[in-house]
Amino acid sequence: MRLINQTKNLVLANQVFFAGTLFKRIKGLLGQKVFLPGQGIVICPCNSVHTFFMHFAIDVLFVDSNYRVIKVFSNLAPNRITGIYWRSKRVIELPAGTLALSNTQNKDQLQFLE
């Protein structure tokens, strides 16, 4: 599955993994040593994340039920926690630097393609 920023007409990730079960949401990226460009994870439902015990920084997008960006965190370092974004239905985690390269920002519209 690919993640597209429709507003910017850019591909954000070519390999997206969905974490929709309790176990997959809890595990997320924990234990991974690398997060390669083009990869992404969607955590659903989710309105807050942490990077405790992670080995690398990540980019984080909080999105509503229509995949419109609510909040952007670029280069969120390990051992950090975000606030709670009550309107967020999903969180998309991407390798650090992805959002800066794509200029993805609040109110951008995202889409998933097979």
Q: What is the pLDDT of residues 14-49, one digit of tens each?
A: 999 988 777 677 666 666 778 899 999 999 999 999
Average pLDDT over residues 52-62: 93
Is the domain covering 2-113 a CATH 3.40.640.10 domain?
A: no
> Cβ–Cβ contacts within 10 Å for residue 4, how many?
17
> How do the domains of the chain map onto residue ranges?
2-113
Coil, strand, or helix at residue 112? strand
pLDDT recorded at residue 81: 96
- pLDDT 10s digits, 79-101: 999 999 999 999 999 999 999 99
Kindly report the pTM of this predicted structure. Answer: 0.92
Query: In terms of pLDDT, which residue wins out, 25 or 11?
Result: 11
3-state secondary structure 36-97: CCCEEEEECCCCCCECCCCCCCEEEEEECCCCEEEEEEEEECCCCECCCCCCCCEEEEEECC
- Token pair listed for 11: 């591909």
